[in-house]
Amino acid sequence: MTKVNGRNFIAAILAAGKGTRMKSDLPKVLHELLKKPMLWYLLNTFKKFGFSRQIIVAGHGNELLSNKFPDYRNDFVIQGTQRGTGHALQEAWPTIKATGAEFLVVANGDTPLVSAQHLETLISKATTTGVDFGLLSLKLDDPGSYGRVARDQSGRVRAVIESKDYIHGKDGPCSGEINSGIYIFRVSALAEIIFELDADNEQKEFYITQLISLAYERNMTVQAVQVGNCPELLGINNPAELVAQEEYLRAIIVDRLISNGVIIRSKDQVRIGPDAVIEPGADITGPCEIYGTSFVGRGARINSHCYLEDSSVRESEILSFSHILQCDIKNNAIIGPFTRLRPGTVMENGTRAGNFVEIKNSTIGRDSKVNHLAYIGDTEMDTEVNIGAGTITCNYDGKKKHKTIIEQQVFIGSNASLVAPVRIGRRSMVGAGSTITSDVPEDSLGIARSRQINLVDKNPLKNRKNKIKD
| Each residue's pLDDT tens digit, 102-140 | 999 999 999 999 999 999 999 998 888 888 999 999 988
pLDDT at 21 over 90: no
pLDDT at 298: 98
- Please report the pLDDT score of residue 137 as a whole number: 92
Asked whether residue 164 falls in the same domain as residue 261, the answer is no
Contacts of 271 (CB under 8 A, 6+ apart): 34, 250, 288, 289, 290, 291
Residue 426 counted as domain residue:
yes
Section 426-437 average pLDDT: 96
Number of structural domains found in the chain: 2
Which domain-ending residue is among 178, 213, 233? Answer: 233
Residue 265 and residue 208 share a domain: no
Residue 200 DSSP symbol: -
Distance of alpha carbon 279 from alpha carbon 292, whole angstroms:
15
* Confidence band, pLDDT 50/70/90 cuts, at residue 169: low
Rounded distance between C-alpha atoms, residue 298 and residue 313, angstroms: 9
Q: Which residues of 183-201 are buried (b: 16+ CB within 10 A; e: fewer)?
A: bbbbbebbeebbeebeeeb
Give pLDDT tens digits for 256-271.
999 999 999 999 999 9
Q: At 424, which CATH number? A: 2.160.10.10
In this structure, the answer to whether residues 50 and 175 fall within a common structural domain is: yes
Dist CA 376 CA 207 (whole Å):
57
Residue 52 in any domain: the answer is: yes
Alpha helix positions (H), 140-186: 168-171
Distance of CA 467 to the CA centre of its chain: 60
- Yes or no: say if 409 and 393 are a contact pair by the CB < 8 Å rule: no
Same domain, 171 and 254: no
What confidence score (pLDDT) does residue 119 get? 93
pLDDT in tens, 213-254: 999 999 999 999 999 888 889 889 899 999 999 999 999 999
Among residues 31, 87, 372, 402, the one annotated as catalytic is 372
Residue 342 included in any domain = yes
Residues 206 and 279 in one domain: no
Claim to verify: residue 181 and residue 307 sit in the same structural domain: no
Q: Residue 147 belongs to a domain with what CATH number?
A: 3.90.550.10
Q: Are residues 227 and 243 in the same domain?
A: no
Dump strand ranges (E) for 146-251.
148-151, 157-161, 177-186, 222-226
> Do 220 and 255 share a structural domain?
no
pLDDT value of residue 130: 85
Same domain, 113 and 130: yes
Q: Is 372 known to be catalytic? A: yes
- pTM for this model (two decimals): 0.90
Q: Is the pLDDT of residue 468 over 60?
A: no
Same-domain check for residues 275 and 397: yes
Same-domain pairing of 247 and 193: no
